Structure 1
Amino acid sequence: MQVASTTQSDHAAVARAVTMPPPLAAHHFELADARTGRITCYADGPAGSTERPLLLIHSVNAAATAYEMKPLFEHYRQHRPVYALDLPGFGLSDRADRIYTPRIMTDAILLAANEIRRRHGDVAVDVIALSLGCEFAARAGTEAPNLFRTLALLSPTGFDRRAEAAANNGGGDKNATRAMPWLRKIFTVPLWKHRFFTLLTSRASIRFFLRKTFGRKDIDEGLLEYDYITTHQPGAENAPYSFVSGYMFSVHALKLYQALAMPVWMVHGVRGDFVDYNGKHAVEGLPNWTIQVMQTGAMPHFEQLDKVVAGYDDFLTRAAGA
């Protein structure tokens, strides 16, 4: 593993930083290895704090960055060491032209979590992940269970009817994805590769998709503006094309969730396009799982931060007692 300060960034990262502010106003550092490429992490917290570190993991979509976790980062930076990362292909991390998979994303989370643990006396970290980031966090949690004390899942993917059907079928390759190579091939034709993504990420388009996510007309305007900025950077289309082509969705995500050994807190809303949790009964009865439903869309921490924080802190208290 290589750890570099922001002053040692490569030329591409420096060029991006000129036109793109970081998603979080905090100290940031870089990690890199051959599997993930270079990833950017953000850190803050009270000086000398002995509290357990918290790692925040954003979702994946056309405009994903650590900004998606900003409300939680801003809250917890006052109370404990808090970290967030830009997953590979997003934000200030490497946006190389390659196929992005759960393996790459999981390796990035493990890379960041191991570095955080090293910085904090080898203690296990708490993790909060959002949407598709939950699948990557769950995979990391099954592969390195001692690395994470708890795992919180905000609006996790992998509980829909397709995931439930895959779980009921049994067997299968645990690394299988829903990849559609033919679709990615169409998106990445050089003649229209960048042009199509530009149309997909106009302000009007971003607002349309955010309204579907929030399940209402009122959205977070700061998130919209940052989404526009990040989607108009060099290489911005590379990871999203893997996303829309199915390469990042695990066929057996539900089995990953069932295999988690640490305490798990799951929250989901009831509005918008992302409310299919038909398969959650597979984990509802597990003793290490707590499930909470909120009257929000898929970004509960933007809509009801106080309730999310109260629920999460209560979960941590109970997990520590257990």
Structure 2
Amino acid sequence: MNAIAPPLNPTNPAGIGGTPHEFVWNWKQQAHTVVYETLGQGSPVLLLPAFSTVSTRSEMRGLAERLSTQFQVWAMDWLGFGESDRPSIDYRSAVYHQLLQDFVRSQFDTPVAVIAAGHAAGYVMQLASMQPAVWSKIVLVAPTWRGPLPTMGANQQVAGVVRETVRSPLLGQALYKLNTVPSFLNLMYRRHVYTNIEKLTPEFIQQKYRITQRPGARFAPAAFVTGTLDPAQNRDEFLQNFQSLSVPLMLVISEQAPPGSKAEMEVIAAQPNVQSQRLPGSLGLHEEYAAEVAAIALPFLTTN
């Protein structure tokens, strides 16, 4: 493993309770700061949060705390999300394919285990297909590959109009604000993310709301919601990354996921060489049921 970059302020509560660091990444001749965090000692395990309006490495905290008893956990904020830079670039799937490839290559000298939630799964699997020796083991938690608007049936033209509207200076900021007020976040969590609504306390929702209020916060989420960050254009393209897979893979299916998303998880489970287990929960399974996910992941990661 390469030397870790100098630590940032370790008292920041927005992470997983470890030591934050900066990875300076160059994209199209522009330098951007990507924040990641380490916790524990031992062999590394990389945690990749799901893409969403409130995406942040802190959603991996419960999982990180449990895994750090046996591993050194690494958790990253994707560019445009969390505490990483949020530049107004043209966010596309190519950005994240390259970011993940560059981050892993620069930080790890040997194959590393990875746990990916939501859309992060598609980026992990594409890299696995291109460079099988990058990963030692893969855990996919409630994986997705299609953004909210395409899932609801919006075509590319409609999605593109929405994306550019949200990116616009005045109307876009107003539209983004409507979709990130605490009441709307609460509604979305009840519908698609959490199954136990008692966990959606005012403090929890306020914490999520603060994530949405950083400068430049609307650009990457707008790309995600409209499908611009989808790691594949269709199911066949997504499933190609599972063909001839040589890396052990565990799939954790969320039983209460939206029907369309769960159907895609079932298709993955039917692929050769994919182990799968099921847990209660929806698209926020990795955060809401962190203890249960860890109970599946730990034996898988520690078995030769």
Q: Which moved more, 1:95-104 or 1:35-44?
A: 35-44
Give the corresponding residue for 1:191: 170
Q: Name the structure 1 match of 2:134.
A: 147
* TM-aligned CA distance change 1:38 to 1:136, over 3 Å: same
Distance 2:4 2:89 in 1: 23
- The equivalent position to 2:197 in structure 1, one of 194, 214, 217, is 217
SS in 2 for 1:227: helix
Match of 1:312 in 2: 297
Distance 1:307 1:99, change over 3 A: same
How many angstroms does 1:3 deviate by?
7.8
Contact 1:269 1:275 in 2 (8 A): no
Amino acid at match of 2:6: S
Query: 1:27 Cα shift?
Result: 1.0
User: What residue is the counterpart of 2:223 in the other structure?
Assistant: 242
Describe the shift of the 1:159–1:234 C-alpha distance in structure 2 as closer, same or farther (beyond 3 A): closer
CA distance in structure 2 between the aligned counterparts of 1:231 and 1:132, rounded to whole angstroms: 19
Could you say if the C-alpha distance between residues 266 and 109 of structure 1 is closer, same or farther in structure 2, counting changes exceeding 3 Å? same
Q: The residue matched to 2:242 in structure 1 has which SS?
A: helix
Q: CA deviation at 1:106?
A: 2.2
AA matched with 2:256: R
Residue 210 of structure 1 contacts residue 219 of structure 1 at CA under 8 Å; is this kept in 2? no
- 1:237-316 to 2 correspondence within 5 Å? 237-249=218-230, 250-251=232-233, 252-258=237-243, 260-273=245-258, 276-280=261-265, 282-316=267-301
One-letter amino acid of the counterpart of residue 38, structure 1 = T
Determine if contact 1:128/1:153 at 8 Å carries over to the other structure: yes
* Residue segments in structure 2 that go unaligned for 5+ positions in a row: none
- Contact in 1 for aligned 2:67/2:294 (Cα 8 Å): no
Moved more, 135-144 or 235-244: 135-144
Distance 1:268 1:225 in 2: 28
Contact 1:268/1:275 (<8 A) preserved: no
8 Å Cα contact 1:206-1:228 kept in structure 2: yes
In 1, Cα distance between the equivalents of 2:33 and 2:294? 31
Partner of 2:64: 73
SS at match of 1:38: strand
The partner residue of 1:31 within 2, 8, 23 is: 23
Shift in Å at residue 110 of structure 1?
A: 2.2
Kept in 2, the 8 Å contact 1:215–1:273? The answer is no
Instruction: Give the distance between the partners of 1:159 and 1:191, measured in 2 at CA.
Output: 28
- The Cα shift of 1:282 comes to 4.7
User: Cα 1:220–1:26, aligned 2, differ >3 Å: closer, same or farther?
Assistant: farther
1:80-159 correspondence runs (5 A): 80-117=71-108, 122-158=109-145
The 1-side partners of 2:301 and 2:183 are apart by 39
Per the alignment, in what secondary structure is the counterpart of residue 276 of structure 1?
helix
Q: Which amino acid aligns with 1:109?
A: L
Note if contact 2:67-2:73 (Cα within 8 Å) is conserved in structure 1. Answer: yes
Aligned positions, number: 288
Query: 2:88 aligns to what SS in structure 1?
Result: coil
Answering whether residue 208 of structure 2 is matched by residue 227 of structure 1, we say: yes
Query: Deviations 1:164-215 (Å, cap 9, x if unpaired)?
Result: xxxxxxxxxxxxx968432212222222121221221111111111112113
CA offsets 1:209-253 (integer angstroms, 9 cap, x no match)? 111211342335465333211101111111011112210112122
- Post-superposition shift, 1:82? 0.6
- Partner AA of 2:248 in structure 1: P
1:94-133 per-residue CA deviation (whole Å, 9 max, x = no partner) reads: 100022222211222223322331xxxx321100010111
The equivalent residue for 1:42 is 37
How big is each residue's C-alpha offset from its partner over 1:267-291, in whole Å with a ceiling of 9 and x where there is no partner? 1112143663334565445442101
Cα offset for 1:54? 0.2
Q: What's the CA shift string for 1:40-64, capped at 9, x where partnerless?
A: 1100113xx3xx2100000111111
- 8 Å Cα contact 1:269-1:297 kept in structure 2: yes
**Aligned CA distance change for structure 1 residues 159 and 22 (closer, same or farther; 3 Å):** closer
Structure 2-normalised TM-score? 0.83
Superposed CA deviations along residues 293-312 of structure 1, whole A, max 9, x for unmatched, are 11222233434333322222
Once structures 1 and 2 are overlaid, which stretch shifts more, 177-186 or 296-305? 177-186
**Structure 1 stretch displaced more, 309-318 or 193-202:** 309-318
SS of 2:258 mapped into structure 1 = coil
Query: One-letter code of the match for 1:206?
Result: L
AA matched with 2:249 = V
Distance 2:266 2:190 in 1: 28
- Change beyond 3 A, Cα 1:312–1:83: same
Structure 1 letter corresponding to 2:25: D
Per mean C-alpha deviation after superposition, the further-off stretch among 140-149 and 182-191 is: 182-191
